[in-house]
Amino acid sequence: MSIHKEPTGVSTLIGTPKEVRGRLSRSHAEQVLLVSFEHQNSHGTEILFENLSNMASSMYALFQQQQQSSATLERLAEALVPPTPASPRILKEVAMLVKARKAVLESGDWLSAAELAQLAQLSTANPSAQPNKWKRGGRIFAIHHSGVDYFPAYGLNRDEGFRPLKALAQVIEIFADHKNGWGMAFWFMSVNSFLGGKRPQDLLVSHPEQVIAAARDEIQAPEHG
């Protein structure tokens, strides 16, 4: 019986079935490939065994190389991709909404019902009564934050005792089915291409017709798209 060992971890056992069984009983190999011959030509069989041994060693080396290549590619991919998944879109949208609301609240353009009642010299016994009446009538809108309504100071006419501007009511009517209080607040404070890059709240007193036209364009733009 002869044994051919290769550096790849492949060994070839050549001998009679009894000899091979005896050797395999002491082997720690995980896998075994058996080729048997009923008729043997000494010279031809020896050449065939050598070729089979060389082929097995070459194939095993190739399989090992492919496995190592796969492991290398896996490690490379893990190194190149981000360590964690990107933030879900909903989190990004919430972050943008929080940023926008913070900008609105920090703008200094908002009055509580008590502050509005004081400016407009309304009844202090129930300061929220008249502002809420204006809101229900569509003459002014409000943003609701931490349980409190806040009204836009830019929507008041100083020359008429801080009553709501007439143009504001028309804008509210246009946006009635499209924007809530916060939506209108975002629109009024954002630069507007229809207004030449100016904010609607800055033109509501001086150019009310343009602001009304910009509001109509805001509603019609998606339909045209």
What's the full length of the chain, in residues?
A: 225
Q: How many Å apart are CA 94 and CA 146, to the nearest integer? A: 17
Q: For each of the chain's 225 residues, which pLDDT tens digit applies?
A: 555 444 455 566 667 777 777 777 777 777 776 666 666 555 556 666 666 666 666 666 655 666 666 676 677 667 666 677 767 888 888 889 999 999 999 999 999 999 999 999 998 789 899 999 999 999 999 999 999 999 999 999 999 999 999 999 999 999 999 999 999 999 999 999 999 999 999 999 999 999 999 999 999 865 544
Q: How many Å apart are CA 24 and CA 16, to the nearest integer? A: 12
pTM for this model (two decimals): 0.61
